[in-house]
């Protein structure tokens, strides 16, 4: 075994197993954490003559890393990098292998306050009509039309993350109650009402098009019956955004933003929306109240004679 392989097996691989096994983070989160570590350690090797001893990394090294990364990536990405690094060092401190974190006292650049982008209810309606429009014009098969409509209805009707939709199985859905039990970030479980329309589409899909409705069978599949990937859903969305003449930078996650915003617009309680989204902290959900306040102020500015 080479020195680099030995170092990886000593420090990185146990941490990766902890993320995916004990914490049950998604493969995408684990990938991002590990990429942050690779970026950090590569920086140390090339810029500070680091010898590979994790115990000798200093606060100054961490500051230099943050300063250098600000020249290369966005502030949000820098924050994501440091989040992964903090988790790494906390893990080894708990294991008794490190006495301190070289990130203690590290100051990060402030993030710009950016409200989540969302679609209006009219835009959502145009988007959801897309699959049936193509079916009426015989541009796609009934299988594709109902599969695509199901994807869009579940993204908006249940507020799923795209990874949660890709992983959804028939065993997670209660057809009698119209809800799905979802295991989201950090292994946190929540119940998601699917809505009358989404349940009707799902029922038709299950009866007429599903290759398998076994307990562990994926709900959303390709025409060959294979589980779909997040990338496939992203491409599907691009197609229907173009069809509806909507902005092409809208993403599946922005449909989730729309789901939350429309719930609050129509009187839903903030804590209920927190539960529906699977947010561990209320502060994460509260950003959607700022969206509503911003819209109220826009209306006021346009309509009030003394605005």
179 bridge partner residues: 174, 193
- Burial letters for 121-134: b for 16+ Cβ neighbours within 10 Å, e otherwise? eebbebbbebbeeb
Burial of residue 282, with CB atoms counted within 10 A of its CB: 0-12 exposed, 13-18 middle, 19 or more buried: exposed
Q: Is 268 helix (H, G, I), strand (E, B) or coil?
A: coil
Dist CA 166 CA 113 (whole Å): 30
Instruction: Yes or no: say if 116 and 294 are a contact pair by the CB < 8 Å rule.
Output: no
Specify the residue for token string 């897309």.
Answer: 130
Could you list the active site residues? Answer: 161, 185, 253, 256, 279, 288
Do 198 and 175 form a contact (C-beta atoms < 8 A)? no
Q: How many residues does the chain have?
A: 307
Matching residue, tokens 């250098």: 68
Output the six-digit token pair for 153: 């209805």
User: How far apart are the C-alpha atoms of 192 and 278, rounded to whole Å?
Assistant: 9
Give the angle subtended at the CA of 297 by the CAs of 295 and 300, to the nearest 5°. Answer: 115
């Amino acid at each position: 075994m080479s020195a680099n392989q030995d170092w990886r097996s000593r420090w990185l691989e146990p941490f990766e197993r902890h993320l995916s096994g004990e914490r049950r983070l998604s493969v995408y989160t684990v990938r991002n954490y590990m990429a942050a570590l690779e970026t950090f350690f590569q920086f140390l090797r090339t810029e500070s003559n680091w010898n590979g001893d994790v115990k000798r990394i200093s606060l100054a090294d961490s500051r230099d890393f943050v300063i250098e990364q600000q020249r290369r990536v966005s502030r949000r990405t820098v924050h994501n990098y440091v989040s992964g690094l903090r988790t790494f060092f906390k893990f080894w401190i708990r294991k008794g292998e490190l006495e301190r974190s070289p990130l203690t006292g590290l100051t990060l650049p402030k993030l710009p306050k950016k409200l989540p982008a969302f679609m209006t209810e009219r835009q959502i309606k145009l988007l959801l009509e897309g699959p049936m429009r193509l079916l009426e014009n015989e541009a796609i098969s009934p299988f594709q039309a109902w599969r695509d409509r199901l994807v869009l209805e579940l993204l908006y009707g249940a507020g799923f993350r795209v990874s949660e939709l890709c992983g959804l199985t028939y065993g997670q859905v209660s057809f009698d109650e119209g809800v799905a039990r979802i295991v989201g970030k950090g292994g946190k479980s929540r119940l998601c009402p699917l809505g009358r329309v989404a349940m009707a589409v799902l029922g038709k899909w299950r009866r007429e098009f599903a290759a398998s409705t076994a307990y562990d069978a994926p709900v959303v599949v390709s025409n060959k019956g294979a589980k779909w990937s997040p990338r496939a859903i992203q491409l599907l969305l691009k197609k229907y955004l173009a069809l509806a003449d909507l902005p092409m930078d809208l993403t599946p996650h922005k449909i989730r933003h729309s789901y939350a915003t429309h719930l609050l617009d129509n009187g839903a309680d903030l804590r209920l929306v927190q539960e529906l989204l699977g947010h561990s902290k209320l502060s994460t959900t509260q950003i959607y109240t700022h969206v509503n306040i911003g819209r109220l102020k826009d209306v006021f500015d346009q309509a009030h004679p003394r605005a």
